[in-house]
Structure 1
């Protein structure tokens, strides 16, 4: 019986599904770790929770302005810029 379930789920047609679910779980995991470790509003330590609401705007700004946001800030919102440029330019 175990062999039939393995044959059902480990077919080559299912590999892209496993890859997509794996990428989604990875992104969720990375987001969770980032929020737990660096979000100024999340306090895991009991001593930090006892401090109450902090007015630390600099820490919040650093959290919001992460590396990916800085990288894409001045870029055009295009997925394939070379193809867009090819079809939009008139010759």
Structure 2
């Protein structure tokens, strides 16, 4: 019985599916850990939960303006802007 299950699921055709699912689970895990550890609205310890709602706008700004967002702020929202400009802009 175990050999039929392994022969069904451990095939070269299934490896891309495993890779895609691994990347998706990794991204979800990263976001979960990031929210638990750095989100100012998430309080895990009992002492922090007792504090209630805090109006700490600087901490929220620091959380929302992370490094990736600062990096892409002034970038063009295109993947290949030079190729897009070549084919779409008239001379």
**What stretches of structure 1 move > 4 A for 4+ residues in a row?**
none
Give me the TM-score of the superposition, normalised by structure 2: 0.91
Structure 1 position 72 matched with structure 2 position 72: yes
Structure 1 position 42 matched with structure 2 position 42: yes
1:79 deviates by: 2.0
Instruction: Report what 2:24 is aligned to.
Output: 24
> Separation in 1 of the partners of 2:84 and 2:28?
31
> Unmatched 5+ residue regions in structure 1?
none
Number of aligned residues? 91
CA root-mean-square deviation:
1.3
Bigger shift: residues 48-57 or 75-84: 75-84
Give me the TM-score of the superposition, normalised by structure 1: 0.91
